């Protein structure tokens, strides 16, 4: 038993010694591995630093090489550089050519649909391929300075724009040909008869609804349009309905017919107004439904239609301006007709739900020309001065406009004040048509302010004449009747000043406010003179009567005329 125990202890010791030896070997191996790993990591870091330095040197070398290509006078190197640049241009041109081919294929497809009388497919394809804004078509990346590229290629955006013109013209022409029989059947643009064939109206509305998909920027489709049109998009249904009206207007008012007369501008104004009145309900009840959107951002077709008709008037007047400027009376008459026309158009639009006023009306385009505006202001000034001189030359200018004093209670206006006020109202009405602030200011300073200054000068003269003809009470020529006439006349001058002052109170400009201050100064002096005459008359009357005058008697005998002002 002891022998076995001894053998077991010896075996255990051997095992322990062997384990310790293995542990020492493992620790040595781990130390060696750790040392090797650190050396590898350090080597990798060194190689990375060297590689980074090599890349930097390579980049610098490439830049130097590229600069040497540019600066080198060696024809072989220059030829190599040009060849590389040409390869880049050819690659870009290849991509450009692919875009052009796609646009050409779409154009050919639309053309074939038109030939097959398949308007629906043509319009759908047009909207899907050309319905993007022009800005989404990227400009050509080809070097436009290269003669080779300029000679053989055009940019995709240019070709896209050209294709829009061509395809839209094809579709619009086909739509016009298709719509012509329907419009002829309903006698467009005459009022639509309620008893017209329902099938004809139904087919026309269907065709207009199909054309309503064609909404593209007006600047792309109609480069010749006047700047009067505030709408950014062309509304195809409205264009289809405007087309026959334009032809009819051109035939009657641009040709050699009697209707094309400078003396009768009212003919084409009445013609356009009649169309507006006749077709307003049709656009509100039928055409507007074709363009209404669920988001509520639909375009008001009545406003667009009216603007198209106003453009006809604007073009006509602009065309006749060079002849009208040589005939002042006809020029003024035409401008008056323009103002009257715009008032009537705005009145019609006021009854249309959702309609908006024009940003640029007919008068703004015509009078926007500085030469035309200057001529118009000069002619208006001459007319206003002539009329005012006639008012001043009237023998009854200081008479009251009412034959009986009790016709009104508190405002007795002289003929002078009444006629001057009417003239100022006409001038103000003319000025109200001007949409630009600086034009209104020029009109005010050139016409209205001078008339007011002349009017106030007349009041000053009458006041000075009143003071220069003063007769004291101890003068033999002095009579109460004389003094009463003086008081009456000065009171009428004061009433005339008051009438114009009330009229000017509606204006808030600095120039008119200066006129109001001047009126107040003249009125104050006139009132002081009137009261002085009244006091002297009262004193003289008391002296002659030998007793103090009763207030009621004084009111009847002396101040009767003054109380009316």
Two tokens, residue 518: 């001047």
Is the model's pLDDT at 556 over the cut of 60? no
Q: What is the mean pLDDT of the chain?
A: 74
pLDDT tens readout for residues 235-255: 899 999 999 999 999 999 998
- Predicted confidence at residue 553, as pLDDT, reads 46
Distance CA 76, CA 65 (A): 14
pLDDT, mean of residues 187-204:
82
Two tokens, residue 136: 């989404």
Distance CA 489, CA 492 (A): 5
Is the model's pLDDT at 445 over the cut of 70? yes
In order of 127, 195, 451, the CA distances from 472 in angstroms are 95, 88, 36
Q: Which of 88-97, 201-210, 383-392 has the lowest mean pLDDT?
A: 88-97
Q: How confident is the model at residue 461 (pLDDT cuts 50, 70, 90)?
A: confident
Which residue carries 């009412």 as its tokens?
A: 402
Count of other CB atoms within 10 angstroms of residue 443:
23
316 exposure class (CB count in 10 Å sphere: 0-12, 13-18, 19+): buried
Is the model's pLDDT at 132 over the cut of 90? no
- Predicted confidence at residue 19, as pLDDT, reads 63
Is the model's pLDDT at 331 over the cut of 70? yes
Q: How confident is the model at residue 160 (pLDDT cuts 50, 70, 90)?
A: confident
Residues with Cβ within 8 Å of residue 522, at least 6 apart in sequence: 456, 459, 460, 463, 497
Question: Which one has a higher pLDDT value, 159 or 313?
Answer: 313
Residues with Cβ within 8 Å of residue 49, at least 6 apart in sequence: none
Nearest to 219 by CA among 210, 208, 203, 231: 231
Which residue carries 């030359």 as its tokens?
A: 393
Is the model's pLDDT at 47 over the cut of 90? no
**DSSP per-residue string spanning 324-335:** HTT-HHHHHHHH
Number of H helices and number of E strands within the chain?
A: 21, 2
Is the model's pLDDT at 381 over the cut of 90? yes
Two tokens, residue 473: 């009470």
* Chain centroid to CA 66: 54
Q: Which of 169-178, 406-415, 440-449, 545-554 has the lowest mean pLDDT?
A: 545-554
Nearest to 558 by CA among 524, 533, 527: 533
Question: Is 463:490 a contact under the CB 8 Å cutoff?
Answer: yes
Helix axes 415-432, 449-468, angle to 10 degrees: 160
Question: Which one has a higher pLDDT value, 515 or 374?
Answer: 374
* Chain centroid to CA 244: 27
Is the model's pLDDT at 138 over the cut of 60? no
pLDDT tens readout for residues 463-489: 777 666 666 655 555 555 555 666 677
Q: What is the pTM for the complete model shown?
A: 0.68
Distance CA 489, CA 482 (A): 11
């Amino acid at each position: 038993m002891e022998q076995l125990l001894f053998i077991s202890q010896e075996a255990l010791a051997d095992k322990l010694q062997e384990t310790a030896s293995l542990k020492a070997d493992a620790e040595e191996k781990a130390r060696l591995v750790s040392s090797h790993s650190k050396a590898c990591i350090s080597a990798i870091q060194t190689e990375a630093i060297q590689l980074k330095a090599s890349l930097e040197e390579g980049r610098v070398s490439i830049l130097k090489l590229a600069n040497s290509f540019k600066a080198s006078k060696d024809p072989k190197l220059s030829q190599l550089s040009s060849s590389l640049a040409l390869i880049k241009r050819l690659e870009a041109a290849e991509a450009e050519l692919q875009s052009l081919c796609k646009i050409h294929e779409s154009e050919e497809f639309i053309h074939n649909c038109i030939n097959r009388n398949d308007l629906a497919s043509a319009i759908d394809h047009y909207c899907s391929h050309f319905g993007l804004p022009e800005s989404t078509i990227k400009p050509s990346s080809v070097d436009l300075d290269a003669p080779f590229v300029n000679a053989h290629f055009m940019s995709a955006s240019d070709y896209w724009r050209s294709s829009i013109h061509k395809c839209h013209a094809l579709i619009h022409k086909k739509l016009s040909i298709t719509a012509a029989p329907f419009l002829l059947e309903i006698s467009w643009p005459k009022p639509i008869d309620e008893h017209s064939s329902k099938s004809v109206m139904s087919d026309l509305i269907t065709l207009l609804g199909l054309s309503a998909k064609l909404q593209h920027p007006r600047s792309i489709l109609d480069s010749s349009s006047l700047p009067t049109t505030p709408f950014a998009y062309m509304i195809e249904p409205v264009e289809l309905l405007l087309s026959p009206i334009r032809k009819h207007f051109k035939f009657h008012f641009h040709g050699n017919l009697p209707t094309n007369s400078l003396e009768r501008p009212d003919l084409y104004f009445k013609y356009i107004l009649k169309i507006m009145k006749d077709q307003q309900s049709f656009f509100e009840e039928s055409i507007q439904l074709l363009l209404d959107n669920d988001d509520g951002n639909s375009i008001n077709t009545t406003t667009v239609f009216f603007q198209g008709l106003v453009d006809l008037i604007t073009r006509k007047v602009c065309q006749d301006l060079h002849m009208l400027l040589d005939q002042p009376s006809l020029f003024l008459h035409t401008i008056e007709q323009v103002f009257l026309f715009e008032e009537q158009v705005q009145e019609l639009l006021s009854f249309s739900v959702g309609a908006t006023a024009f940003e640029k009306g007919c008068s703004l385009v015509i009078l926007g020309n500085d030469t035309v505006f200057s001529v118009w202001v000069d002619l208006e000034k001459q007319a206003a001065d002539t009329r005012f001189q006639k008012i001043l030359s009237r023998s009854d200018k200081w008479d009251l406009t009412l034959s009986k004093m009790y016709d009104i209670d508190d405002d007795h206006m002289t003929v002078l004040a009444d006629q001057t006020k009417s003239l100022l109202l006409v001038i103000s009405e003319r000025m109200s048509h001007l949409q630009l602030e600086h034009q209104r200011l020029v009109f005010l300073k050139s016409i209205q302010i001078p008339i007011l200054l002349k009017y106030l000068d007349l009041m000053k003269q009458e006041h000075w004449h009143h003071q220069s003809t003063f007769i004291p009470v101890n003068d033999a020529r002095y009579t109460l009747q004389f003094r009463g006439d003086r008081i009456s006349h000065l009171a009428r001058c004061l009433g005339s000043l008051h009438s114009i002052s009330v009229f000017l109170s509606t204006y808030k400009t600095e120039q008119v406010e200066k006129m109001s201050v001047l009126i107040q100064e003249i009125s104050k002096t006139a009132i002081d003179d009137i009261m002085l005459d009244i006091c002297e008359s009262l004193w003289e009357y008391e002296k002659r009567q030998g007793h103090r005058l009763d207030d009621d008697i004084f009111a009847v005998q002396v101040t009767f005329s003054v109380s009316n002002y």
